[in-house]
Amino acid sequence: MPGPDAAMDAPVMEPGQNLRTIGEAVVEQVEPRLRPWWWAGFGLAGVFAAIFVLAVEWLFIAGIGIWGVDIPVAWGFAIANYVWWIGVASGGTIISALFYLVGAEWRSAVNRIAESMTLFAAAAAGVMPILHLGRPSYFYWLFPLPNSMGLWPQFRSPLLWDFFAIITYVTASILFWFLGLLPDLALVRDRTPSRGRRRLYALLALGWTGSHTQWRLHKTAYGLLAALMAPLVVSVHSIVGLDFSGGLLPGWHSTQFSPFFVFGAVLSGFAMVLLLVIPLRRAYRLEPFITPRHLDLLVVFMLLCSLLLAYSYLVDALLPFYGDDRFERATALHRFHGAWAWSFWGAVILNVLLPQILWLRRLRANGWLVCLIALGVVVGMWFERIMLVASSLYRDFLPSAWGHFAGTLWDYLTLFGSIGFAAAGFFLFLRYVPAIAVYELKELLPPGERRG
């Protein structure tokens, strides 16, 4: 009889698996089959991706005036979207790199999904600051390139640090993802019956044979890259936090922003992974590999991040009243009950209060409820980002300089379009790439079961 600790005691893999069953279950996922839910999902995502393209196109033609940004609020949705997306991406890297380093065996079944989510989230994040530039075609001015005036970019600015952090993060994420994928691409190459697909995957697998020499190098390379990715992702979101604390505005100029942003980022990442993993394990019949234990651990980590974020919210709300800066106090009070109070309270309720029901083991085991809470967290994190961006900007020091901010239709189309863009990429990933690291699952087999 399953006791109350059933999820915690559950194995990381259902018994009765062997090399053949694992390989076949995962390769089945990338075989061409008519999957109505996939077409429905990809179609819907595609529509929103098309909206994104249109919104960006119109932005390029008409200029940034189609958005709600103006003076004093020069950072609007684009920056909030950027911070939100890069946060979602960070969670995937934490799951895949940090938990690899600590040897958590539960990560093996979900790391590919997490890493792929990271890639598309980072792509959606990466375009936002470029769109946000009034003249996007000059984005390359951020590169330290020689120009006619002999000028360099401002190396002392967190905004430029951010540019370097994103370039590094996106590049490293792609390489880390591809490195882990190599043996599984070779598996698809070897298993797929179609000649054309065999060619395609042979090309992608680069000639991987699985020799002992290659495996040794692969393991070393993967460990090294994981050890670089884990501090990298913390640095990326810390620098995003510094973008804000480097500004002198009340509500931004705070020393806790770096860890505060990292906590929120990891929270939204765990939430997004849960949101993807719970339906996917059912859709692809991956229940033997993604067990209740995985879901339980992911939920527990989401809860942990929620508590860390609660601490940051508390510090952010209390410090203005502990200190003596009346502008900080005014901004804090305005966040509690000003025009954008909905975003503050929305963030508190969705990110901190609602997830607390997951302390109850019974509720934690309910997939739909967890999905709902995770969706709430993802939305709540966007609320937090827009609250931080907007509320400090439209009411800073002098009342004569105050203004207001509201998103326009094009702001919302860009936001929802970017979700479609990332989702469409993720659906394509599901169609062509094994969503579970097969060779890592095979390593999880007990010694006696490691047979064909």
Partner 1 sequence: MSVLVASFADEAAIVRAVGALRRAGLSSIETYTPYPVEALDALLPRPRWRLPVAVFLGGLVGLVLGFGMQWYAAAIDYPLNIGGRPLASWPAFIPIAFEIAVLCAVLAGFFGFLALARLPRPYQPVAAIPDFERASHDRFLLLVDPAGASMPSADTQALLEQCEPCSVFLWPS
Residue 145 lies near partner 1 (rule: CB under 8 A): no
DSSP 103-146: T-TTHHHHHHHHHHHHHHHHHHHHHHHHHHSSSGGGGGGGS---
Q: Binding residue for partner 1 (CB under 8 A) from 71, 211, 368, 399?
A: 211
CB neighbours of residue 446 within 10 Å: 10
Whole-angstrom distance, CA of residue 197 vs CA of residue 188? 9
Q: Is 32 among the residues that bind partner 1 (CB under 8 A)?
A: no
Rounded to whole angstroms, the Cα distance separating 188 from 76 reads 44
Backbone angles phi, psi at 211, to 5 degrees: -70, 160
Q: Which stretch binds partner 1 (CB under 8 A): 32-40, 132-140, 179-187, 273-281?
A: 179-187
- Pick between residue 178 and residue 327 the one whose CB is nearest to partner 1: 178
- Residue 255: phi and psi, rounded to 5, are -75, -15
Please report, as residue ranges, which positions from 54 to 113 form the binding site for partner 1 (by CB under 8 A): none
Q: Which long-range contacts (CB under 8 A, 24 or more apart) does 250-258 make?
A: 250/320, 250/325, 250/327, 250/328, 250/330, 250/331, 250/392, 250/396, 250/397, 251/328, 251/331, 251/332, 251/335, 251/388, 251/391, 251/392, 252/388, 252/392, 254/316, 254/319, 256/312, 256/315, 256/316, 256/319
Instruction: Pick from 132, 281, 364, 442 the residue near partner 1 by CB under 8 A.
Output: 442
CA distance 49 to 53: 6
Angstrom distance (rounded) from CA 90 to CA 305: 13
Least separation in angstroms between residue 287's CB and partner 1 is: 21
159 binds partner 1 (CB under 8 A): no
Shortest gap between Cβ of 216 and partner 1 (angstroms)? 5
> Hey, what are 39's tokens?
């077409």
CB of 125 closer than 8 Å to CB of 85 = yes
Among 215, 311, 345, 416, binds partner 1 (CB under 8 A): 215
> Could you tell me the CA-to-CA distances from 167 to 159, 161, 233, 342 in Å, in that order?
13, 10, 12, 34
Q: Is 53 among the residues that bind partner 1 (CB under 8 A)?
A: no
Give whichever of 178 and 432 is closer to partner 1, judged by the CB atom.
178
> Does position 228 bind partner 1 by CB under 8 A?
yes
19 touching partner 1, by CB under 8 A: yes
How many Å apart are CA 283 and CA 424, to the nearest integer?
17
| Location of structure tokens 């690291």 | 437
Q: Which of 4, 207, 323, 403 binds partner 1 (CB under 8 A)?
A: 207
For partner 1, the binding residue among 69, 225, 262, 305 (CB under 8 A) is 225
Residue 244 CA to residue 161 CA, distance in Å, equals 12
Q: Which of 39, 138, 143, 152 binds partner 1 (CB under 8 A)?
A: 152
CB closer to partner 1 out of 153 and 279: 153
- Residue whose CB is less far from partner 1, 161 or 394: 161
Among 51-59, 174-182, 393-401, 413-421, the segment contacting partner 1 (CB under 8 A): 174-182
Among 62, 203, 248, 318, binds partner 1 (CB under 8 A): 203
Tell me which residues in 237-256 interact with partner 1 (CB under 8 A).
Answer: 239, 242
CB 342 to partner 1: min, Å: 34
From candidates 183, 288, 407, 417, binder to partner 1 by CB under 8 A: 183
**Using rule CB under 8 A, residue 208 touches partner 1:** yes
Q: Does 409 help bind partner 1 (rule: CB under 8 A)?
A: no
Give, in order, the Cα–Cα distances in Å from 416 to each of 76, 361, 422: 15, 34, 10
Q: Is 147 in the site for partner 1 (CB under 8 A)?
A: no
Question: Is 186 a residue that touches partner 1 (CB under 8 A)?
Answer: yes
**Which listed range, 32-40, 44-52, 88-96, 230-238, lies at the site for partner 1 (CB under 8 A)?**
230-238
**Which among 235-243, 266-274, 286-294, 366-374 is the span making contact with partner 1, rule CB under 8 A?**
235-243
Instruction: Answer yes or no whether residue 10 interacts with partner 1 by CB under 8 A.
Output: no
Stretch that binds partner 1, among 31-39, 212-220, 273-281, 309-317 (CB under 8 A): 212-220
The residue within the footprint of partner 1, chosen from 91, 158, 250, 417 (CB under 8 A), is: 158
Instruction: Compute the chain's Rg from CA coordinates.
Output: 23
Would you count residue 446 as binding partner 1 (CB under 8 A)? no
Tokens of 132: 């946000």
Tokens matching residue 383: 């609320």
Cβ 180 vs Cβ 111: under 8 Å: yes
Query: Judged by CB under 8 A, does residue 400 bind partner 1?
Result: no
In the complex, the residues that contact partner 1 under the rule CB under 8 A are 18-20, 23, 144, 150-152, 155-156, 158, 160-161, 164-165, 167-168, 171-172, 175-176, 178-179, 183, 186-187, 189-191, 202-203, 206-221, 224-225, 228-229, 231-232, 235, 239, 242, 438-440, 442-443, 447, 450-452
